[in-house]
A and B are shown apart, each in its own frame.
Chain A
Amino acid sequence: MLLLRTAFKNILGGGKRTWLNVTVLSFTFVIMVAYNGILDGFLEEARRETQRWETGAGQIQHPEYDRYDMFTLQDAHGVAPLSLQTYLADKSMTPILILQAAIYPQGRFQNILLKGIDAGQNILELPTAKLRHTGTEIPVIIGQRMAGLADLKEGDRVMLRWRDKQGVFDAQEIVIAAVFKTKTTTVDAGQMWINITDLYAMTGMQDEATYLVKSENCPVVSDIDNWSYKDLKYLLADIDLMAKSNQTESFIIFAILLAIALLAVFDTQMLSIFRRQKEIGTYVALGMTPKRVSGLFTLEGTSYSILAVLMAAVWGTPLLYLFAQTGMKMPEVYADMGMGMSDAIYPAYHVSSIMTSIIVIVVLSAIISYLPARRIAKQNIVFALKGKIN
């Protein structure tokens, strides 16, 4: 307690130098928290959007299906196992049937993925209600990116060509029933969504699916009859990978910022030990062991970071709160990278992340303060008392 009190008293007595160090450290701390908040917010938002639009709470995939290999689509379809029919019936699971197809907008040929989905599903955000028939025309829905790529808009008609179950080509005009807006590119670009009942009729693949999307209420969490269960960890692996890559970038930024801030602390500590020789000697003369004085100086250096955390709490809290409310506008280009994103990223501050930042700053300050302070224990106190550097 005495050391802590003395350390705080000494650094508060240090005046401008102390406050300069504390300000730089607090700035670093706030940047760390804000940046971590953005990363966490970015990750959470991407995960949330992708779940809402694409993955649901998990998927049961046909044994042949590999989402990274389009050539598997030809064989990756079949009737879902009997044990899953209950969930399909109560709509806690919805089937998706994927086929390779082509469209001819304005006479141009364009390959697409034709995805059949139940018009009455309510697991994914896709506006599938628009797939219900109002006439004889087959309605499809597409995303904004697909609409842009194919130069299509709501109400447009376009020729669709596909292969049926026997591999025979067939073609029919379809109508764009709706153009939806989503940041999840993986359900948008190069794809058309069609009522799965229409797709069954068009292909003869009655009751077949490439994969089944499950809702939160569906209890299935394991492989069933060779159909493999894919959890969110697998389905969102790309996002996690990107988050990890961002974490590396952020680590480099933090390292640079911290290095600058801690260099200031180190410099102050070194200077203190040279300038405060008499004081060091006096502490020993008054009854402290040199090791304890060394501990005092280490604590002084560490106290900069404690003060910095307090200062950061004062000016950083309202700023970070405001930032969390306004969010950070994201350029469209981010969404084109294939991640489900909303228009703005809202930072998510987690206690664990903040605590980690605090611990990192305090521990590194302690280490950086100890390095010069350990010299004290080896000093000649008689020289120190006279103010001689030794």
Chain B
Amino acid sequence: MQPIISINGLVKTFPVGNGFFCALNDVNLKLGTGEFVGLVGPSGSGKTTLLNIIGSLDTPTEGKAEVLGHSIGELTAKESAALRNKDIGFIFQSYNLLPVYTVYENVEFPLLLQKMSADTRRKAIMEALDWVGLTNKEQSRPSQLSGGECQRVAIARAMVKRPAIVLADEPSANLDAKNSHNILQTMRKLNEELQTTFIFATHDEKVMQYLKRIVYLQDGEVERDETVNQPNRNE
């Protein structure tokens, strides 16, 4: 398997008071196309920090993080933005939908940044909304949707540009069990159909049931890296 994400000796520290807090310490990891992997660990274990570095929202203090051939930390703000816009989709715990936009416009936004033509855009948006079962809500605003629906819009927004990687930070934390399973099934389906690599930062048992690979983090270090041969929910 050719890795699309390659992390070597990654260290990330944050200034705290007069000293530094080490969020990631000598992390080594390789992730390939089509993986459905979870970064699992307690709060403060460094999973979100690792996710942010992979998403080029943050940079390593030491070591190297290479994503789709780009060395994070050496990218300019423009290159970093282009990488996020074209190849990385984000799903957040609190959905982070743009409040004044409709469902359609929220999903459309990354495509507008890519300057895609209106026809191609519309087709892609409707397809993405179809994946998450929200074609009937395209004119609704986030305030008119339930939490589960909002997260499905976020999935559609992350997937509409057909990224190579989707980063999901605690995507089910604000959802009830039924909605959690619902969105995880959707993501799993997209992972299999489109071979998109999904990386989760989670400590939710419900999410772990769907993961094909689990990377356990503890105090900023990789404690275990396990492949799950038969995830419990693969329907």
Contacts and interface: CB of A to CB of B under 8 A. Distances in A.
B113 A289 contact: no
B77 A282 contact: no
A7 to B, nearest CB: 11
Interface in B108-145: 109-110, 112-114
A289 B96 contact: no
A13 B112 CA distance: 19
A110 B131 CA distance: 101
A77 interface: no
Contacts of A291: 77
B98 interface: yes
Give the dominant DSSP class at A's interface: helix
A9 B101 CA distance: 8
Given A381-B57, A385-B57, A385-B92, A287 B100 contact: no
B178 interface: no
Interface centre among B81, B86, B113, B157 (most CB of A within 10 A): B81
B55 A285 contact: yes
A284 B84 CA distance: 8
A347 interface: no
Interface residues of B, number: 28
A204 to B, nearest CB: 89
A284 B78 CA distance: 11
A283 to B, nearest CB: 8
Contacts of B114: 287
B45 to A, nearest CB: 16
B82 interface: yes
Interface string A277-320: 01101101111111110000000000000000000000000000
B69 interface: no
Contact of A287 (B81, B97, B105): B81
Nearest to B53: A382
Contacts of A279: 96, 98-99
Nearest to B84: A287
Given A9-B101, A278-B96, A279-B98, A287 B77 contact: no
A333 B109 CA distance: 64
Contacts of A288: 81, 85, 113
A2 interface: yes
A255 B150 CA distance: 46
B110 A287 contact: yes
Contact of A284 (B81, B94, B98, B100): B81
B85 A287 contact: yes
Contacts of A385: 57, 92, 96
Contacts of A382: 52, 57-58
Residue from the set A9, A289, A291 with the largest chain B CB neighbour count within 10 Å? A289
B109 A286 contact: yes
Contacts of A202: none
Interface of A: 2, 9-10, 12-14, 278-279, 281-282, 284-292, 381-382, 385, 387
17 contacts: A2-B112, A9-B100, A9-B105, A281-B96, A282-B92, A282-B96, A282-B97, A282-B98, A284-B81, A284-B84, A286-B85, A287-B86, A288-B113, A290-B77, A291-B77, A382-B52, A382-B57
